[in-house]
Structure 1
Amino acid sequence: MSVKSETSSSQGFKILITAEEAYPEFERLCLAARVEITMCFRVFDPWTRLRSPDAREIGVTWVDLIEHLLRQGIRIRIDISDFDPVALPDAHRDTWAAVRALHAAGELSGRPDLLMAHAIMHPARLGWLPRLLLWPRAWLEQNQTAERLNTLPLAQRDHYLREAPRLRTRLKAKAARLVARVWPVPHLSPATHHQKLAVIDGKTLYIGGLDLNERRYDGPDHDRAADDTWHDVQIVTQGPEAKAALYHLQTFKAVTHGARPPELTGLIRTISRKHRWSFFRMSPKTVLREIADTHAKSTANAKRLIYLETQYFRDASLARQLARRARDNPELGLILILPAAPEEVAFDSNPSSVAKYGEYLQAKSVRLITEAFGDRVFIGSPAQPRKVGSGGRASLYGSPIIYVHSKVSIFDDDIAVVSSANLNGRSFKWDTEAGICLTDPDRIHELWARCAGQWLGSGAGDDCLDPRNAVAAWRLRAQANAKVEPEERTGFILPYASRPARRYGHTLPGVPEEMV
């Protein structure tokens, strides 16, 4: 990561920071399509408002944009991740509501034949033994969902169930009230399709950590309530990465069902499938772990500085690899940017035991790297430069937190990864993930400079970008911000507080680390 005074986007390559930059660009890319758009998202809400001026001339939401594109003869193929209706009933319902809205747009366009929109659930299922062991808990959760639906007016309840087909089969009416079915034992799905990417005309790739809905819309100023902030990074690029991504989108479902994964150049993936025999198993079978392997190899080759920006840092294997490299190379530094607390802990009044398990794993991973790197590591979290009352885990040093959801890893000038994958076992082994590797030093430096500039703000000198001084310079900036009033801070960066996660987290014996 050499120091340069200027950076500029090369032809066909853009770095998009937050949805304020990414959503309008995505709209422009779709409007520029001539033949087809192929995409897969974990979350894609067609009622999300349009942001670019050109798209706003067409309509108000993505429903209008999809209808317009179909009218223009553009073929659209979109897969949206479906979710286990027992564990995530609202997410399951949202996916099917989105698919229905997309098909409505197809009918309105007069060209429904050009639209392929599907809700896709990962085929892996828990084996019979863990399903039986979890049966009482699953039945309880289904009953809680039934009770919540029973509080709704009948018409609203029926509408909800029409948009949640897999949940509908798990409930039955009894004396005008919904109750959970005791039998059969529900199938439970441990993995999801977590990737977020689109390919336009087979030539342009839009990829990273950002899904599409109003919750994820935020700008680089992050001047909103903590639970409305959302920091993400998306990349637009052309060339072999786009061709590889298109082939991946055409084949990944078959791979999850047992087909041989194709070899691709320019795209790195995580793909798993169901086991042939899974009586005892809680996990799917990992087929490709290219994202994890890329991190492992890049860590082993790192010389001066590693920069990681992630929603979760929970993979103990990666933490041990980083610690081993720190001991082998006394010149290596590490900067790790995390949200002050996970979304489900910061903003949920009653976090689950699984969320607490995730905090336990992150505290463990943080301890491994801090012990190995010593003063050669800086762990930071962003917060807004304004005061807040007692905000619990949603505040940091008296300020509302900024929620970090991005997935960026930079290893010297050699390689950078932007993907949908968090640094946890789920993203490295279970869920379907996709990302790209940047190897051009100019593009790597541009990404590094954009990330640093976002968190450090104005006045960040060359020492903040120089790999020889960056760790100390970032730490000094964060410590200085922590000592002054929020309004007097420079940039957003503050020291990460590890004690809350250590105190809050606890282990769950028998539960795979990849579950969180």
Structure 2
Amino acid sequence: MVRVILTSDEANEAFERAFLQARQEVWAAFNQLDPDLELVSQAGLQIGRTWKALVTATLQRGVQLRLFLPDADPFLAPAAHRANHACVRLLRAAATAQGLANLLDIRVLKHPARHGPLTYGTEWRRRRAAVAPEIVRLAAAEPEARQRALDDMPGLIPFLAAAARGGRLALRKFAHPALAAACHHHQLLVADRRLLLIGGPDTSTDRVGYGLRLAREGPSAADAQAHLEHFAGIAAGQDEPGSQRHLLRTLSRRASRLRRGPTKSLRQDIATAHAALARRAEDLIYIETRAFTDPRLAAELAEMGRARPDLGLILMLPETPPPDPGAQEQVLARLARAFGPRFFAGQMLVPLSQGGQRLTLFDRRAALVTSADLTPEALYRDTEAGLYVRTPREVSEIGSRAMAYWFMAQRAAAPEGGPATVALWRARAQRDDGGPGRRMRPYPLP
């Protein structure tokens, strides 16, 4: 039976428990991991205060840890780039100090797909502008602090030059970094090849955010284990993706020079599942995502909205606009035209946990819980993973818990019929709009 996890404290307790109860090995891929993040569980606090202590204590019990973090773009996301490399340095140092380095395999991984040189002009100018504040901050820092920061920024150092006067930092004028065309974005943990956690811990200090995760034992853990063992080799062209029964994946590798585009798609399970289940939906489709910019999926949903007058669509989006707000506005306008009053877009007003997953429900008969936003990058290029849940009891539990969170109720009882459910959500969001403690409001449509 699946266990539904909704809040940051719940999630961090679950991940701490997985480390504490592991007997042989833990494999995990997280977007971020802060070694100084404070522990929240009572069992965790008995062994130390931070995740660094938790990792060290797990190694001391003889448990093998394999942890993978993505390498963020050092120009567009210098803080994230530095944080993940600092995490690797700190945890390796702690393991080495205890004589346990052989038990810890922790790596920052780049996806090997790269854009071609034709994109350098525009992208290089954009990256120079994006990283300029970071260069100013580093230049103003004390020499020792600057060097400590640069030690954790291996992706930036080759493109820096120190001016002769005063050692001021500057970007090399004619240096062109390789531009990543995809990234590893999945978030999974498998403990002892039997327990699967979909999602990641929350790295924020307040730990009050909303973010769906799932805990599950059984065959799905074996699929996730195989994915974690081979995804890097698959992206590098060393392994083949094969097929899996329980885990949905997006996988790609670097395309050959003769192929159009920088990536070769290997698996599009998440996109395929969304399209297939949308075609079978009869009552209600419910979506929680951080961004919706994929025109192909939008076209599929719009077609279903026009063809099925009893089908409703609820779409929950964050306050923060996506990197491509224009594309999302086009998607929202298309869905609003196709569904009319049977479409409701809600704006999530609570902090969203970095480790939270995305959710799509189809008639409460199937659920997709994955790391993938509904964007072309996540659905066709980046490394993403998640579960297709089809057991009615599990789907009902996921849907009821998630919907009840936005209604601030014990459980969300949906009325009969998708359009009636959409009308209920719209009325609730409009009634709560402007009220204290509200969690959602109508999303401003174009």
Q: Does 1:199 align with 2:190?
A: yes
Instruction: Return the match for 1:299 from 251, 254, 278.
Output: 278
The answer to whether the Cα contact below 8 Å between 1:202 and 1:246 also exists between their aligned partners in 2 is yes
- Provide the secondary structure at the position in 2 that maps to 1:469: helix
**1:481 alignment counterpart:** 432
Please, which runs of 5 or more residues in structure 2 have no aligned partner? none
1:223-262 superposed matches below 5 A: 230-258=209-237, 259-262=239-242
Residue 262 (structure 1) shift: 2.0
Q: How does 1:112-511 map to 2 (within 5 A)?
A: 112-141=101-130, 144-175=133-164, 176-208=167-199, 210-214=200-204, 218-219=207-208, 230-258=209-237, 259-277=239-257, 281=261, 283-342=262-321, 355=323, 358-383=324-349, 402-403=351-352, 406-458=357-409, 462-464=413-415, 467=418, 469-482=420-433, 486-487=435-436, 492-498=439-445, 502=446
Distance in structure 1 (CA, Å) of the matches to 2:67 and 2:249: 19
Post-superposition Cα deviations, 1:190-229, rounded to whole Å, max 9, x if no partner, equal 3211111110000010013x454125x533xxxxxxxxxx
Superposed CA offset, 1:300-321 (max 9, x none): 1111111101111111211111
Structure 2 CA distance, aligned partners of 1:157 and 1:61? 25
The whole-number CA distance in structure 2 between the counterparts of 1:137 and 1:468 is 44
TM-score by length of 1: 0.81
> In the alignment, is residue 46 of structure 1 matched against residue 35 of structure 2?
yes
Separation in structure 1 between the aligned mates of residue 294 and residue 41 of structure 2, nearest angstrom: 38
Contact 1:77 1:116 in 2 (8 A): yes
Match of 2:73 in 1: 84
Gaps of 5+ in 1: 1-9, 220-229, 345-354, 384-400, 503-516
Aligned-partner Cα distance in 1 for 2:404–2:174: 56
Give how far 1:429 is off.
1.2
2:34–2:87 Cα contact (<8 Å) kept: yes
Change (3 A) 1:242 1:463: closer
Stretch moving more, 460-469 or 101-110: 460-469
1:406, CA displacement in angstroms?
Answer: 4.1
Cα offset, 1:492, TM superposition: 2.5
Tell me the distance in 2 between the aligned counterparts of 1:177 and 1:470: 60
TM-score (norm 2): 0.93
d(CA) in 1 for partners of 2:98 and 2:312? 55
AA of the residue aligned to 2:256: R
Q: Give the 3 Å change call, closer, same or farther, for CA 141–443 of structure 1 in structure 2.
A: closer
Change (3 A) 1:105 1:466: farther
